[in-house]
Chains A and B, each alone.
Chain A
Amino acid sequence: MANNLLEINNLTVTYGDFKIITEVSFSMKPGEIVCIAGESGCGKSTLIKAVLGIKHLGAFITEGNIILDGRDITHLSTEERRQILGTQIGYVPQNTRGSFNNIRTYDVQYQETMRSHNRKFVRSDAIDCFDRLNFPESSKLLSYQPWEMSGGMNQRMAIALAVLQGPKLMLCDEATSVLDVTSQKEVIEELAKLRDELGWSILFITHNLGVASHIADKLGVMYAGRMVEYGNIRSVLDDPIHPYTRRLLAAIPGKDRKLPLGLEGRPPLDGAEVEGCNFVPRCQFCEDKCSTKPYSLDEIVPGHFASCAQGRVDL
């Protein structure tokens, strides 16, 4: 599939002697928004960091590869990686308070970022960009300092900076989870708009399936270091196959105002290394074969993959 923008094949990441994620594979087409959802510690952030480069974090990609636009970027040097970051891959972190220097104006920080990517910074371009994104007071924004802004506005400034560099792929790591609900909605809508206008691809990491359902085209669900379900968003949400996805959906407070259904226990720490399904201890449908059948993500319905050994169980 040559027209894939990003391909992640059979990716395994280890930290020390310990596997954090194993055998994750998926691909993104240009203009697609893929959401990866899961609980904290399931390895979803590691996935994004693997694309951005994780050597400096002490973690290594031991198997599999990452292909961006036909080029293998799995083991790039720091210098080569810096050339693609920003220009081809944009990144919006969770905590934008920490990613901007709080006491310098956006103007200076925008200039600095653009310069480090060998781009020219034109102020009017930035203001045009703000206008396009419907920011209030677009002409004054650059002279503000981050501490004068709300968290939501700060996050949008980070997105605007990414837009200015014109990457093909955006990586958003829990980009909205520290925001208030109203700003969260604005940011989500902005990202969706950018995709429509600029043809961006967005890899969106979130623990909030509500957010995912509003912007994603494809949804992947991760559990303890493995992808347990992947497919078109409607297919996964309307007709979840893996028991974990079902429980995850049941745990979200819905419009019907029914008490959400919890899930006892916690994901195994060594989930990526377990033979067989790592959800067995918490699964209500598990059978003997579940803990012996090796992990694999199988296509159950066309375009809809799940790793449950039983294929599809009816509730």
Chain B
Amino acid sequence: MSGYAIPANDVNANAPLLEVRNLAKSFGKGKKAKPVLTNLNFTLNEGEVLGIIGESGCGKSVLLNLISCLDPVTKGQLLFKGEDYTGRKPGSVCRWFQVIFQDSEAAFDPKATIRASMRENLKLLSHDVSHADEKIDEMVTLMGLDVKLADRYPRQLSGGQVQRMSIARGLVTEPNMLLCDEITSALDVSAQAMILQYLYELRMKRGLTMVFVSHDLALCSTFCDRIAIMQEGEIVEIGTPGQIMDNPQHEYTKLLLDAVLYVK
């Protein structure tokens, strides 16, 4: 299995993989403009997993869209390995980021088999198409699925399986970073735990960097290196799971922590 080699023409090897500077986003123009994100700052190092926690409407999904260039940035800068890529087209950053969506079934074209969708991804990135099937099989196996399942249509698989397929699709193009948008919240607990296990294995084997957006603090604390708490478009607290869970500083973090219902 091939690893994720760092490209030779690296701008700055010491710079963090991703840096977000004073990022702001508002929808609408002029006086009607509605701010969604205000002044976000954080960095993410190679191999790190950052959890972003917030309730619905806090702007956590918008943040992922900005990082992956799906939405234009209103203010601020995005840097990848020290290189400013703000305002680029999504196609030009696709070697760096792949987004995994919450609604995994809708993330595949319903009229194409999963393998066809994956092949298309590979073809567009002008990888060696002759080995496409091997690559796809490798990634599907890596996510613990039978390679035969890739020849099915998305609706023929269970929710957990499609989600693992969509992670596999993200991986075939060998991105530096996975951006996971609530990827387990539509799944049952056991399917969710399976996904976490495979993502954890991926980290161990390949040192994959991830941004893991979720509303589940307990879930993130098992898996992330750092957790950022978002409230109404701002990051109010950021720290290791230990710091966040055992010694929360911000009122909102305390509130969230208090609302987590552990199995007693």
Interface residues of A (CB under 8 A from B): 39-40, 151, 180-182, 184-185, 188, 207-211, 213-214, 237, 247-255, 257-264, 266
Q: How far is the CA of A254 from the CA of B144 in the complex (A)?
A: 24
Main secondary structure of the interface of A (DSSP, over half): loop
**Inter-subunit contact A260/B262 (CB<8 Å):** no
**Inter-subunit contact B261/A211 (CB<8 Å):** yes
A251: chain B residues within 8 A (beta carbon): 189-190, 192-193
Q: Is B241 an interface residue (CB 8 A)?
A: yes
**Inter-subunit contact A253/B259 (CB<8 Å):** no
Known: A252-B189, A253-B216. A259 touches B194 (CB 8 A): no
Q: How far is the CA of A50 from the CA of B258 in the complex (A)?
A: 36
Interface residues of B (CB under 8 A from A): 55-56, 144, 158-161, 188-197, 200, 215-219, 221-223, 241, 245, 255-256, 258-264
**Inter-subunit contact B222/A253 (CB<8 Å):** yes
Q: How far is the CA of A184 from the CA of B144 in the complex (A)?
A: 34
**Inter-subunit contact A247/B241 (CB<8 Å):** no
Pick from B191, B197, B218: contact of A254, CB below 8 A: B218
Q: How far is the CA of A247 from the CA of B197 in the complex (A)?
A: 14
Q: How far is the CA of A177 from the CA of B39 in the complex (A)?
A: 31
**Inter-subunit contact B188/A39 (CB<8 Å):** yes
Nearest CB in chain B: distance from A220 CB, A = 15
**Inter-subunit contact B190/A263 (CB<8 Å):** yes
B158: chain A residues within 8 A (beta carbon): 266
Nearest CB in chain A: distance from B206 CB, A = 17
**Inter-subunit contact B55/A180 (CB<8 Å):** yes
**Inter-subunit contact A185/B193 (CB<8 Å):** no
**Inter-subunit contact B264/A253 (CB<8 Å):** no
**Inter-subunit contact B255/A182 (CB<8 Å):** yes
**Inter-subunit contact A252/B263 (CB<8 Å):** yes
Pick from B159, B188, B192, B260: contact of A181, CB below 8 A: B260
B191: chain A residues within 8 A (beta carbon): 39, 262-263
A237: chain B residues within 8 A (beta carbon): 263-264
Q: How far is the CA of A214 from the CA of B191 in the complex (A)?
A: 23
Q: How far is the CA of A96 from the CA of B264 in the complex (A)?
A: 28
Nearest CB in chain B: distance from A100 CB, A = 19
Most chain-A Cβ atoms within 10 A of its Cβ — which of B160, B200, B215, B216?
Answer: B160
A207: chain B residues within 8 A (beta carbon): 188-189
From B200, which residue of chain A is reached at the shortest CB distance?
A: A259
Q: How far is the CA of A257 from the CA of B144 in the complex (A)?
A: 23
B259: chain A residues within 8 A (beta carbon): 181-182, 184-185
Pick from B161, B190, B223, B263: contact of A213, CB below 8 A: B263
B260: chain A residues within 8 A (beta carbon): 181, 210
Q: How far is the CA of A208 from the CA of B161 in the complex (A)?
A: 21
A249: chain B residues within 8 A (beta carbon): 263
Q: How far is the CA of A297 from the CA of B261 in the complex (A)?
A: 29
Pick from B160, B188, B222, B261: contact of A188, CB below 8 A: B261
**Inter-subunit contact A262/B196 (CB<8 Å):** yes
B218: chain A residues within 8 A (beta carbon): 210, 253-255
Q: How far is the CA of A208 from the CA of B263 in the complex (A)?
A: 9
A-B complex: 10 closest residue pairs judged by Cβ atoms:
A262-B194, A262-B193, A210-B261, A263-B190, A251-B193, A260-B193, A180-B55, A39-B188, A185-B259, A181-B259
**Inter-subunit contact A185/B258 (CB<8 Å):** yes
Most chain-A Cβ atoms within 10 A of its Cβ — which of B159, B188, B260?
Answer: B188
Known: A207-B189, A248-B189. A266 touches B160 (CB 8 A): yes
